[in-house]
Amino acid sequence: MGKITPTPFDEEIDWVFYELWHHEGRRARHGLSKMAPDFVHWQGFYEVAKHFYTKFLPMVRKLSPEVAKELLSQETHRWIDQGMSKEEIAQMLEFYDKEMQGKRGGS
């Protein structure tokens, strides 16, 4: 690849990945182990997803479009380039309605 140096933490992408894995990911993992849902979701996985898609992924796309393409070809990331079908959206809403027992957003 040759687009980043072997020296640790001398490029922004090194720090962004560290923050994803160690800081935000660690909060989510520790929140889960302590049964603290706010730390698991909002202070953990929400931050992981937000920074993965808004910071890390754009850097990967710039450094190596091939790696980004391979990453985005995975089923879990398909929605970012292809969106979601009406059926997939309906499935997701049905799942959350069932899990939340019909209690969504301020009702």
Q: Is 61 a residue whose pLDDT tops 60?
A: yes
Instruction: Find the Cα–Cα–Cα–Cα dihedral 11, 13, 60, 5, rounded to 10°.
Output: 30
Question: Could you give the C-alpha distances from 47 to 3, 51, 55, 81, 84, in angstroms and in order?
Answer: 27, 6, 11, 20, 22
Contact between 26 and 43 under an 8 Å Cβ cutoff? The reply is: no
The pLDDT tens digits for 80-95 are 888 888 998 999 888 8
pTM: 0.73
**Cα-based angle 53, 55, 57 (whole degrees, multiple of 5):** 55
Distance CA 103, CA 36 (A): 21
- State which H helix or E strand residue 27 sits in: helix 25-33
pLDDT band at 107 (very low <50, low <70, confident <90, very high): very low
Distance CA 101, CA 54 (A): 32
